[in-house]
Amino acid sequence: MSEEILKALMQLFAIIAKQDTGLSKSERDYVENFLRHQLNESSVKEYLDLFDFYINEGDFTSSEQSKQSDSSKTLEIAEKINNTLDKKQKIVVLVRLFEFVNSDKNLTPQRISIIKNTADIFNICNEEYKAIDTFILEDAPDKLDIKEILFIESGDKELNKAKRIQYPYLEGTIIVLKISSANLYFLRYTSNKELLLNGLPINNNRVYLLARGSVIKQPKGMPIFYTDIVSSFRSDETSVKIHFKAENIYYEFPDDGNIGLNEINIEEESGKMLGILGASGAGKTTLLNIISGIEKPTIGKVSINGIDLHKNINSVKGIIGHIPQDDLLIEELTVYENLYYSTKLVYKDLSDKEIKKKAEKILFNLGLLHIKDLKVGNPLNIEISGGQRKRLNIGLELIREPSVLFVDEPTSGLSSNDSANVMELLRELTVRGKLIFVVIHQPSSEIFKMFDNITILDEGGYQIYYGNPIEAVIYFKELDNQIDSHVGECPSCGSLNPETIFSIIESKIIDEYGQPTVSRKTSAPEWFEHFKEKISIKRVTKFYDKLPHSFKKPNWLNQFKVYFKRDLLTKISNKQYLALNLLEAPLLAFLLAFIIKYIEDPTSNLYIFRDNDNIMPYIFMCTIVALFLGLIVSAEEIFKDKKILKRESFLNLSRSSYLCSKIGILFIISAIQSFSFVLIGNYILEIKGMNFEYFIMFFSIAAFANILGLNISSAFNSAITIYIIIPFLIIPQMILTGAMFNFDKINSVIGGGDEKVPIIAEFVPSRWAFEGLVVNQYKNNKYYKNFYNKRKLESELYYKNVYYITELKRYVEDYKNRKSSGHEKPISKDNLQLLRNEIKKEKQSKFSLYHDYKFEQLDKLYIKKFNPKIAEQLYEYLDNIHDFYNRRFNHVNKTIDDIISDKTRTPEKRKEYLKLKNSYHNKYLSDFVKNKMAPLPLVRLGNNLVQKINPIYLNPPKENLFNIRSHFLAPKKHFAGNYYDTFYFNLIILWLMTIVLYITLYFKILTKLIYYIENGIPILNQKIWKMRIKLINFLTKKTGI
């Protein structure tokens, strides 16, 4: 009890004492006695003096005035301490006040009214007030027959409301009061026979607070445990009884085969709290994971009401709650919101109002209602205390009302006060019929006593104790042959030191110099032998209630909505994140566009789109920026939620609805970013009439990056890894976009200079996006779209005319020359093959429909059959089609020229034409798509000729039905016999890639892959290790060292 409360209590005692008759001897004795129980000798004196001071303050006359001032003083004091006391302490104060008044049976109305006032200010409800009143002031059993009271006696009188525990040989009655709201039990004993509470004799005229883990014992017979009392009170509560049993749990670590747990047995029932204790590394958390169904035991069975937990996890999952050591809170949300969304995710049928009510009720129960609108914040940036965080974490599980709770280290990192608070919260839950398993590392005495049962694990996973915590101390002391081994707790202070247990367990053999050695006195297996020998686990009656239904989780769409809202709220509440994300794109767009807004003519200030050398790089940057923004936005998303996800996966919630909600929000952010980027970038660079296409492509690549980011964020386990990964994802994409490095001029091992885009670049989304945008920008702009098809035809004819047919003719000419000069081998097999291939293609080309020149001797183009006559025919054929192409080219060229001269006939028209061209057509982009820098217009690849110039005018060949590959910057793409516009085709490819990534995300393929990779490494390590040993052996043999 704190100084302040004691002071207040002294004051209250004094005020009450002053009423009516004044202080009696017994009252003063009570105060002294009370203080003696709380404090040491010197402090008792101090407080007693204080009490006397308050008594002597003012006069003794009970005038109306002083009465009034007393009652107002009471109010004042009560109000003052009201804020500093918690519910329990208030109850204790109230009980003490009654006890004080009762000490000399001087119950004047005035005294009672002061107590009543205090109770009112303390907000103690009337029922409980009355129950305390009855419990302390009444003696007649029939008066005491109320539901808050329990009799422990040997008889079995008829009782209406009160409960009873039969306790043979007990003289008199132990009366126990339960205050449900504070979960407190008070006890008094009506006889003056010897009875020990936690080893200390009970005084028959005192009221005792029944602490957790207390044991009541008479010299003869079995003790009565705290939990017996608690469960008696609960017997009428209609909750499902849970019977939990873990039999012979044996566990080997899969990695190295080390034994983690050794024959563990646990049997518990509803309303109990079991502590799992042990040194670190003894397997506490492993045990918790096994009995909560997260991991499977190697041997053994865990059952809840007879249902095997590991075989029927889904039918049991609903009643199991698991609270890991980690924080599961969403930092950006408030306390209330955290709970609210969790509630929404588990309750399908509840209306918003009901959920709100439920959440608030839980917050109230957790004592968090007053901070419900505070943001959770992160542990470093404290908004709410560690204890509050922990309680909220517990609340997240409680909302589902699980019947069995598994809690891992709830007190780690908390102050002793917070620890006690959290443990009390858990304790209270047992009262509501929950079965709770708590892993705890070296609890304080206070916490230690809260457990109904503890089990202690020792090194190697040996179970060395199971049973009452206080008995544990005695058990180990006895085994250690210590003096006063029968005393569980320190008789004077009521505390016990769990440390003793561990120091006994781990005590070391002392060597002859008095120094402790490394070996233990009693090894873990020895303790285990003792345990098997001496302690049998108390069998609990088996009652197999039907398990309650799992909570009703909402359907996919509703889960999606909840996730979506929760995530959205999280994002919105983080102002910095929001502002950065929304401003990033337009700022980058401005920066980029402004810097590259190039005016070619140094003497002019007029920006001309056509002359800007940077449009291609701009498009390239667009795709890279989109990729980057998309990745950055998403890269940490799932990783951040990892713990929460783990919990939610426990709830069997739909992963896809979670992912879709994530994706939905990311897509919205990316869409906004894309829109603002494109709008500003295109506006500054005066790219006209293309905003939609840029937007949709920018957005698509960002969407791809979003999902890519989600993949890595779900696969990697630290933020730093994720950010290290990002360059690996972006830089190859930059390299293989085709903008920085011409595909004709990259390493030929990966396909540089090939006919088609290198295979590796087919998997590069930025390439598809870039290509789509560039092709679209070039051929679909307002100026060029009317020319494109004609220009394309012109280009095709030009290529045939100038390069292709000329080249084919050259092969035939070579043959003729060599033949006439009597060369032995006038033509090579390869060259003939080439001629065969190319002429076949030529015959199939669309142009062959427009002329009548034929060459029907393809089958003669073989070494054995080829002769000057055939060569002559071939040459003639080539010559003819050469002329044809020449004529057609001239015609098309003239036609286009005519159109242009028509469009530029008058100065006005010319101006208009120029304006159109200047603002829609970019000459540098045009150079790029025509591959002006190509070292050669056509190349020989194998036995084929491949066009390298003017890729923008070349449709890919219709080789095979489902071949979608083509050369870079093809104007159209081929699929299933048709040509499709490159822009939309690429867009679809991008989305298909995105869908594939979604599938890998959903099935955690990347995660699995990484797991396999990492697990491959130990094997490797082993091999390396073995080799090292061999080497060392070899060397030692050789050198003889």
Restricting to residues 555-594, name those near other proteins by CB under 8 A. 555-556
Per-position DSSP letters for 747-764, written without gaps between them: -GGGTTT-SS--HHHHT-
In one-letter notation, the amino acid at residue 481 is N
Q: Looking at beta carbons only, is 565 or 756 nearer to other proteins?
A: 756
Q: Nearest distance from residue 942's CB to other proteins, in Å?
A: 5
Structure tokens at 38: 């709380």
Q: Nearest distance from residue 747's CB to other proteins, in Å?
A: 10
Structure tokens at 915: 């304006």
* Among the listed residues 218, 229, 225, the one whose alpha carbon sits nearest the alpha carbon of residue 191: 218
Q: Which residues from 799-838 bind other proteins, rule CB under 8 A? A: 801-803, 806-807, 810, 817, 830
Which among 159-167, 625-633, 722-730, 745-753 is the span making contact with other proteins, rule CB under 8 A? 745-753
Site string for other proteins, 39-78 (x = CB under 8 A): ----------------------------------------
Output the CA–CA distances (angstroms, integers) from residue 809 to 797, 812, 830, 889, in the order listed.
Answer: 16, 5, 15, 18
Sole binder of other proteins in the list 255, 352, 533, 601 (CB under 8 A): 601
Sole binder of other proteins in the list 538, 894, 1023, 1030 (CB under 8 A): 894
Q: Which residues from 898-917 bind other proteins, rule CB under 8 A? A: 900-901, 903-904, 910, 913-914
Residues 199 and 195: their CA atoms lie apart, in Å, by 9
- DSSP alpha helix (H) spans, 182-299: 226-234, 284-291
Torsion angle, alpha carbons of 551, 552, 555, 560, to 10: -40
Q: Looking at beta carbons only, is 437 or 884 nearer to other proteins?
A: 884
Sole binder of other proteins in the list 887, 1008, 1028, 1030 (CB under 8 A): 887
Sole binder of other proteins in the list 73, 90, 96, 888 (CB under 8 A): 888
Query: What is the DSSP-derived secondary structure letter of residue 953?
Result: G
Total of chain residues touching other proteins, rule CB under 8 A: 74
Q: Looking at beta carbons only, is 573 or 656 nearer to other proteins?
A: 656
Q: Which residues from 987-1006 bind other proteins, rule CB under 8 A? A: 987-988, 991-992, 995
Contacts of residue 55, Cβ cutoff 8 Å, sequence gap at least 6: 14, 17, 18, 23
Output the CA–CA distances (angstroms, integers) from residue 1001 to 496, 564, 1007, in the order listed.
Answer: 53, 18, 9
CB-CB contact of 725 with 805 (8 Å): no
Q: Looking at beta carbons only, is 901 or 1033 nearer to other proteins?
A: 901
For residue 267, how far is the Cα from the chain centroid?
A: 33
Q: Looking at beta carbons only, is 54 or 784 nearer to other proteins?
A: 784
Q: Nearest distance from residue 908's CB to other proteins, in Å?
A: 14
In one-letter notation, the amino acid at residue 105 is K
Which among 305-313, 365-373, 398-406, 933-941 is the span making contact with other proteins, rule CB under 8 A? 933-941
Which among 99-107, 157-165, 751-759, 763-771 is the span making contact with other proteins, rule CB under 8 A? 751-759
Burial 854-883 (b: 16+ CB within 10 A, else e): ebeeeebbeeeebeeebbebbbebbebbbe
Helix axes 109-121 and 64-82, enclosed angle (nearest 10): 30
Q: Looking at beta carbons only, is 850 or 962 nearer to other proteins?
A: 850
Residues 259 and 254: their CA atoms lie apart, in Å, by 9
By CB under 8 A, residue 889 contacts other proteins: yes
Q: Looking at beta carbons only, is 463 or 918 nearer to other proteins?
A: 918
Q: Nearest distance from residue 988's CB to other proteins, in Å?
A: 5
Which among 466-474, 664-672, 736-744, 841-849 is the span making contact with other proteins, rule CB under 8 A? 841-849
* Among the listed residues 641, 657, 640, 591, the one whose alpha carbon sits nearest the alpha carbon of residue 618: 591
Q: Looking at beta carbons only, is 529 or 879 nearer to other proteins?
A: 879
Contacts of residue 137, Cβ cutoff 8 Å, sequence gap at least 6: 98, 102, 107
Q: Which residues from 755-794 bind other proteins, rule CB under 8 A? A: 759, 785, 788-790, 792-794
Q: Nearest distance from residue 555's CB to other proteins, in Å?
A: 7
Q: Which residues from 941-960 bind other proteins, rule CB under 8 A? A: 941-943
Q: Which residues from 964-983 bind other proteins, rule CB under 8 A? A: 972, 978-981, 983
Q: Nearest distance from residue 653's CB to other proteins, in Å?
A: 11
Sheet holding 215-217, edge to edge: 200-201, 196-197, 215-217, 224-225
* Among the listed residues 659, 761, 648, the one whose alpha carbon sits nearest the alpha carbon of residue 709: 659
Q: Looking at beta carbons only, is 246 or 757 nearer to other proteins?
A: 757
Residues 940 and 962: their CA atoms lie apart, in Å, by 25
Q: Looking at beta carbons only, is 907 or 1040 nearer to other proteins?
A: 907
- The helix/strand/coil state of 185 is strand
Residues 101 and 26: their CA atoms lie apart, in Å, by 10
Q: Looking at beta carbons only, is 18 or 792 nearer to other proteins?
A: 792
Site string for other proteins, 323-362 (x = CB under 8 A): ----------------------------------------
Structure tokens at 215: 């044991």
Output the CA–CA distances (angstroms, integers) from residue 862 to 101, 833, 835, 945, in the order listed.
Answer: 124, 8, 10, 18
Question: How big is the CA angle at 450 (ends 445 and 451), to the nearest 5 degrees?
Answer: 110
Site string for other proteins, 846-885 (x = CB under 8 A): xx-xxx--------------------------------x-
Q: Looking at beta carbons only, is 767 or 800 nearer to other proteins?
A: 800
Q: Looking at beta carbons only, is 13 or 985 nearer to other proteins?
A: 985
Q: Nearest distance from residue 900's CB to other proteins, in Å?
A: 5
Sole binder of other proteins in the list 126, 748, 844, 1033 (CB under 8 A): 748
Burial class (CB in 10 A: 0-12, 13-18, 19+), 460: middle
Residues 366 and 649: their CA atoms lie apart, in Å, by 24
Residues 183 and 130: their CA atoms lie apart, in Å, by 16
Structure tokens at 854: 């034929």
Q: Looking at beta carbons only, is 802 or 870 nearer to other proteins?
A: 802
Query: What is the DSSP-derived secondary structure letter of residue 334?
Result: B
Q: Looking at beta carbons only, is 865 or 932 nearer to other proteins?
A: 932
Q: Which residues from 244-303 bind other proteins, rule CB under 8 A? A: none
Sole binder of other proteins in the list 37, 829, 854, 940 (CB under 8 A): 940
Residues 93 and 356: their CA atoms lie apart, in Å, by 34
Q: Nearest distance from residue 753's CB to other proteins, in Å?
A: 7
- The helix/strand/coil state of 226 is helix
Q: Nearest distance from residue 803's CB to other proteins, in Å?
A: 7
Q: Looking at beta carbons only, is 522 or 918 nearer to other proteins?
A: 918
**Helix/strand number for the chain, H first, E second:** 36, 25
Query: What is the DSSP-derived secondary structure letter of residue 851?
Result: -
Question: How big is the CA angle at 238 (ends 395 and 179), to the nearest 5 degrees?
Answer: 65
Q: Nearest distance from residue 878's CB to other proteins, in Å?
A: 15
Q: Nearest distance from residue 933's CB to other proteins, in Å?
A: 9
Q: Nearest distance from residue 541's CB to other proteins, in Å?
A: 40
Q: Which residues from 516-555 bind other proteins, rule CB under 8 A? A: 555
Q: Which residues from 626-665 bind other proteins, rule CB under 8 A? A: 654, 656
Q: Looking at beta carbons only, is 556 or 728 nearer to other proteins?
A: 556
**Which H/E stretch holds residue 404?**
strand 404-408
Q: Nearest distance from residue 577's CB to other proteins, in Å?
A: 29
* Among the listed residues 815, 811, 864, 816, the one whose alpha carbon sits nearest the alpha carbon of residue 838: 811
Q: Looking at beta carbons only, is 432 or 843 nearer to other proteins?
A: 843
